[in-house]
Amino acid sequence: MADYRDLLFSRAFRVVPGPQYNEISQPLRESRNLFFYEVILHPDTPWESLRDRVYPALARYLKYKSIAPDSAEGVVVSLFFREQFYLIEGREFLSAYREIEGLGPDDFRLRVLSWVAETEGEGKNQEGTKGENPFRHDLPAGRK
């Protein structure tokens, strides 16, 4: 899909030059208590990469953060493309997915559930190993 970028960019509530990103995003984080999720979009990134990797990872991360992964309320997606960041409300980022994929609300909820279940059903931690504790006690944060 060649025009998926245009659809995503059109959902941005603000376009920020890259060097000003922290200057713009920090006050939003503090004043509105927003959670930011950053995505890098290369010029040659196909839609399928976002569809198959970015969106499922976002859903799992939001669930981990106790944010509804099918609504992304209180989330801003920072979509970095070339020298700019496109700030997109989470619900608009998800809505763009639904529009591009032609999914209704119920079908989208099922898709999100399947994304979230991908790692849960496998019983794997973040390193992909079963049953091992991913916390490393040998690192400074783990010492008492």
The 10s digit of each residue's pLDDT in 94-119 is 999 999 999 998 899 999 998 998 76
Q: In what order do the strands lie in the sheet with 35-41?
A: 12-17, 84-89, 75-81, 35-41
Closest among 1, 31, 15 to 99, alpha carbons compared: 1
Integer Cα distance of 6 and 23 in angstroms: 25
pLDDT in tens, 32-77: 778 889 999 999 889 999 999 999 999 998 998 888 888 888 899 9
Which secondary-structure segment (H or E) carries 87? strand 84-89
Q: With contact defined as beta carbons under 8 Å apart, do 95 and 12 qualify? A: no
Regarding pTM above 0.85, the answer is: no
Which neighbouring-strand residues pair with 75?
35
Q: What is the CA radius of gyration of the chain?
A: 17
